Amino acid sequence: MRPILLKGHERSLTQVKFNREGDLIFSCAKDSVASVWYAINGERLGTFEGHQGTIWSIDVDKFTQYAVTGSADFSIKLWDVQTGQNVYTWKTKTPVRRVEFAPSGDKILAVLDGVMGYPGSVTVYEIPRDTQSHQLHQEPSEEPLFNILTHEGFDMAAVASWSFQDQYIAVGHKDGRVSKYDGATGEFIDALELHTQSVSDIQFSPDGTYFITSSRDSDAKLVDIETLEVLKTYETDCPLNSACITPLKQYVILGGGQDAKDVTTTSSREGKFEARLYHKIFQDEIGRVKGHFGPLNYVAVSPQGTSYASGGEDGFVRLHHFDKSYFDFKYDVEKSAEAQKHMQELESSA
């Protein structure tokens, strides 16, 4: 496995995303320019220029037509992916921490910071699209569709994500809670005290029925969206910044490391700046991928499950296309079960 290093950013990465076909990678960093890359060879397709501050988050719709970025300059920008043109800009009251397209592509959510007297919110905007060409057929409304202000007694939201068919919004809070809202109305449904420290990432499974959370308390948890039941827990030895669920193989990839402020005082060996692979079902750590010399701020896996990218505090994106050993690995129980099945098939056919 030979990683491709994407060195287009001048400051630490904040988010990395694949599009639906897995052929483009979107990255954003604390410098105010977002980049688009071809996944196959790491060639940079272009940059989205226009923000005035840190871009905290980026996402692309399922048609790879529009990308959205949320920035610390109090704005959300919509971009045409093919031309790199800024199509629309929403002004916000506070910095934007996270943006994400709904699976249908008709809405975006934005996590707004709770600062300057604002309690913080998850705000949903509508993207008016033509049903045929999926182009914008009119200017999006500046007013949000609805606004989920931070629930009383909860800390403000840090991350949020859509479930299948825009049904729910799962929100991770700074106090470690995870709450669930209706995706159409923004109505509060349920909440769960999941972690002891801030939730740093929420990413859904490919089918959108369960999600993985990562937290600064060093745990990652797999949670069912319908019941908010904790399915699996992955324990590590360092604060986590991101986690993702791999399609194709039953693994999860976790990324993290110590706080950025402690990095200069420890060697990279102790820093635990490795992507960790855990088996999704058995919850064992089955491998690590070295390479970054700063904490990993985000890990993303391609929807095809054949490659993953990590963005680090060191300012690099490392793009890995998995090799044979990744796909070949099986537990002994899996192997014996397969052999048994094979024998039964032979017997029944004989």
Partner 1 sequence: MSDLAIPAPVVVENPDGTKTIVSYKIDNGKKFRVTQKVREIKVTEKVNRSVAARKNWHKFGAERNSAPGPDYSTTQLGEEIVLRLGTQWRKIEEEEEQKAKESKGGEKLITCRICGGNHYTMHCPFKETMGDATAANGGAGGDPAVSGDAGGDSGSGEGEIVAGKYVPPSRRAGARDPSSSNNFDAYRDQRERDDAKTLKIMQLNENADENTLRYELLFPFGRIPKVVVVRNRETGRSRGIAYVTFETEEIAETALNFLNGRGFMNLILNVDWSKPKVAA
How many residues belong to the site for partner 1 (CB under 8 A)? 46
Instruction: Please tell me whether residue 99 binds partner 1 under the rule CB under 8 A.
Output: no
Instruction: Please tell me whether residue 293 binds partner 1 under the rule CB under 8 A.
Output: no
- Backbone torsions φ then ψ of 326, nearest 5 degrees: -65, -45
Cβ-based nearer residue to partner 1, 49 or 207: 49
CB of 221 vs partner 1, minimal distance in Å: 21
Distance (Å, rounded) from C-alpha 29 to C-alpha 17?
Answer: 12
Distance (Å, rounded) from C-alpha 23 to C-alpha 321?
Answer: 12
Range in contact with partner 1 (rule: CB under 8 A) among 145-153, 203-211, 220-228, 321-329: 321-329
CB of 294 vs partner 1, minimal distance in Å: 15
Instruction: Please tell me whether residue 2 binds partner 1 under the rule CB under 8 A.
Output: yes
CB of 280 vs partner 1, minimal distance in Å: 13
Residues in the chain: 350
Report the residue from 10, 52, 82, 141 that binds partner 1 according to the rule CB under 8 A. Answer: 82
Instruction: Provide the residue type at 242 as one letter.
Output: S
User: Which among 180, 182, 184, 208 has a CA at the least distance from the CA of 194?
Assistant: 180
Distance (Å, rounded) from C-alpha 326 to C-alpha 166?
Answer: 32
Report the residue from 74, 154, 164, 322 that binds partner 1 according to the rule CB under 8 A. Answer: 322
170 Rama class: left (phi>0) / alpha (psi -120 to 50) / beta? beta
CB of 323 vs partner 1, minimal distance in Å: 7
Which residues are 191's β-sheet partners? Answer: 179
Distance (Å, rounded) from C-alpha 26 to C-alpha 45?
Answer: 10
CA angle 124, 129, 135 (to 5 degrees): 125
Cβ-based nearer residue to partner 1, 8 or 176: 8
Distance (Å, rounded) from C-alpha 110 to C-alpha 297?
Answer: 19
Contact in structure between 272 and 238 (CB atoms under 8 Å):
yes
Report the residue from 140, 206, 208, 291 that binds partner 1 according to the rule CB under 8 A. Answer: 291
Report the residue from 137, 288, 335, 341 that binds partner 1 according to the rule CB under 8 A. Answer: 288
Interface residues for partner 1 in 24-63 (CB under 8 A)?
A: 24, 33, 37-38, 41-49
Range in contact with partner 1 (rule: CB under 8 A) among 210-218, 259-267, 278-286, 293-301: 278-286
Q: Of all helices (H) and strands (E), which one includes residue 341?
A: helix 332-349
* Site residues, partner 1 (CB under 8 A): 1-8, 21, 23-24, 33, 37-38, 41-49, 64, 82-85, 277, 282, 284-291, 318, 320, 322-323, 325-326, 329, 331
